[in-house]
Amino acid sequence: MELNSGVAILTGAGGGIGSAITRRLAAEGMSLVLADRDFGLLERTVESLPDDTPFELVVGDVSLPAHHEQLVAIATGMGELKLSVLNAGIYLPGVSWEIPLEQWELQMQVNFYGVLHGIRSAVPAMIEQGFGHVIATASGAGLVATPALAPYVASKHAVVGLMESLHHELNRVAPAVHSSVICPGNIRTPMAANSRAAAGVDSEQLFGEVLVVAQAVRAGNDAGADADTVAEALVLAVAENRFWVLPQPEVAWGALDRVQRIMDGREPIDLIG
């Protein structure tokens, strides 16, 4: 599908990956409905857009169905809804049995239900008009698990499974509507700080192995690829109508190793080391 016209919805548009996708879709010539929980982040995102880019900014909570219904209503009022990119996500480190339940719930609400509600709002509109593409940002953590990030890993595995099921469903009942899942590896973004802000946490009280893992994750992110890598992979996947979007080959290698270990009956690998 060509992206030189029509409207795209993008959640998490104020984050590092969201900002990169916003710029790339604007360069393609799309009108944009940009959503985030923080208006200041949205303002920074649109500062780099061409002056003639049509856009609407919406502040809201992706865990609420009404927020996604609002986004679709705005998008369809602007033109043809070609693309819905469900990108909002957060992570809060800790071991499974110590992470506060409210942080578990928050990560599932944002990372998983933020995708589910987006699908439930956008897909019927796309089926009615006869075309469209829904993309969810998962993670390499949706294919291979890491320690001290269990809520994030669980929610991203759920997103991958949801999108696979959606892919099969659309092929059966609406083959002109397509879906993709993006599984980035390490990407340089301010996600850690944005996640703490979303949770209302000024600082994390991390100690011992949890601190070691959190530091390793953040060091990997700091040394990761530019967020434009994800944006470029997204546009190419839409053009090719490709479901799996893995911007970095190491994610595929990790997934392949996991499958081989399952077949061999070997223990899972700890990617943190």
Q: What is the CATH number of the domain that holds 66?
A: 3.40.50.720
* Alpha-carbon distances of 194 from 64, 133, 179, 190, rounded to whole Å: 19, 27, 27, 6
271 falls within a domain = no
Cα 181 to chain centroid, rounded: 8
Point out the catalytic residue in the list 35, 46, 152, 159.
Answer: 152
Element (H, E) at 20: helix 16-28
The number of folded domains in the chain is 1
State the pLDDT at residue 271: 85
Residue 2 belongs to some domain of the structure: no
Residue 29 region by backbone torsions, left for phi larger than 0, else alpha for psi between -120 and 50, else beta: left
The pLDDT score that the predictor gives to residue 162 is 98
Question: Which range marks the domain in which residue 114 is found?
Answer: 7-264
Give the three-state DSSP class for 121: helix
Residue 90 lies in a domain: yes
**Pairwise CA distance, residues 85 & 119, whole Å:** 10
Question: Is residue 245, in this structure, part of any structural domain at all?
Answer: yes
One digit per residue, the tens of pLDDT, for the chain of length 273 reads 989 899 999 999 999 999 999 999 999 999 999 999 999 999 999 998 999 999 999 999 999 999 999 999 999 999 999 999 999 999 999 999 999 999 999 999 999 999 999 999 999 999 999 999 999 999 999 999 999 999 999 999 999 999 999 999 999 999 999 999 999 999 999 998 899 899 898 777 777 888 888 888 888 888 889 999 999 999 999 999 999 999 999 999 999 999 999 999 999 999 887
> CB-side exposure of 78: number of CA atoms within 13 Å?
24
In a domain, 180, yes or no: yes
Identify whether the C-beta of residue 251 lies closer than 8 Å to the C-beta of residue 183.
yes
Residue 170 lies in a domain: yes
Name residues whose C-beta falls within 8 Å of residue 246's C-beta, 6 or more positions apart in sequence: 182, 183, 184, 233, 252
Provide the residue type at 195 as one letter.
S
Position 270 in a domain: no
Active site residue 113: no
**Considering the domain boundaries, does residue 272 fall inside one?**
no
Neighbours of 182 (CB within 10 A): 26
